[in-house]
Amino acid sequence: MTGKWKSIKLLGAVSDSGETFFLPCEVNFNSDTTIRLLDALQTKFGEKICVVLDNASYFTANAVQEFVEDTPIELCYLPRGSPELNPTEECWRKLNQVLGNRLFDDLDELRDAALSALKNLEPPEVFTYLCP
C-alpha cells in the first residue's frame, strides 16, 4: 500500500446563460491544466470569452497570463478568500449533496456517478453572485 489516495479531479465552469462545463483532469491542477480549460471553454462558448476565476495559483500563473495575452480571452479574478462569490462552488456543494453518504466500489464508479450528477445539476444564476 502506497498511502496515496486516488482521486477524481474536475475543473468546472458556469456560463451567464446557465450552461455548465466540467473538465476531468488526470493530474493535479497547474498552469497547463488552466490553459487546457481556457482552450476548452473557447471551443464550447466561442473565441471571445470573459472568465471569472478565483485566485488559485494555477489560475494566476505567468504561463496563463502569457497564454491569454494574444487572445480575446479576458480574465477577471474574484477577491481572495471569497468562495461565496463563486457560482461553481455552488455546483460542488450540490454535487456533494447528491453523492454524499454513498458507497462506491471503485473510483471509476464514483467518476461515472459524479459526471452523471453534474449533467443533471441545476446551475446557479451567475449574476446573483456577481451582482448581488
Render pLDDT for 1-13 as a digit per residue (tens, 0 to 9).
455 567 788 888 8
Q: How confident is the model at residue 65 (pLDDT cuts 50, 70, 90)?
A: very high
CATH level 2 (architecture), domain 9-130? 2-Layer Sandwich (3.30)
What's the mean pLDDT when you consider all of the chain? 84
Among candidate residues 116, 47, 130, the one with its CA nearest the CA of residue 88: 130
- pLDDT for the residue 1: 43
- Specify which residues 13 forms β-bridges with: 21
- pLDDT for the residue 13: 83
Quick one: angle between helices 107-120 and 87-99, nearest 10? 120
Average pLDDT of the segment spanning 100-122: 85
pTM of the model: 0.72
More confident residue, 113 or 123: 113
Give the residue extent of every domain in the chain.
9-130
Q: Which residues of 45-66 are buried (b: 16+ CB within 10 A; e: fewer)?
A: beeebebbbbeeebbebeebee
- pLDDT for the residue 130: 61
- pLDDT for the residue 84: 73
Average pLDDT of the segment spanning 100-116: 87
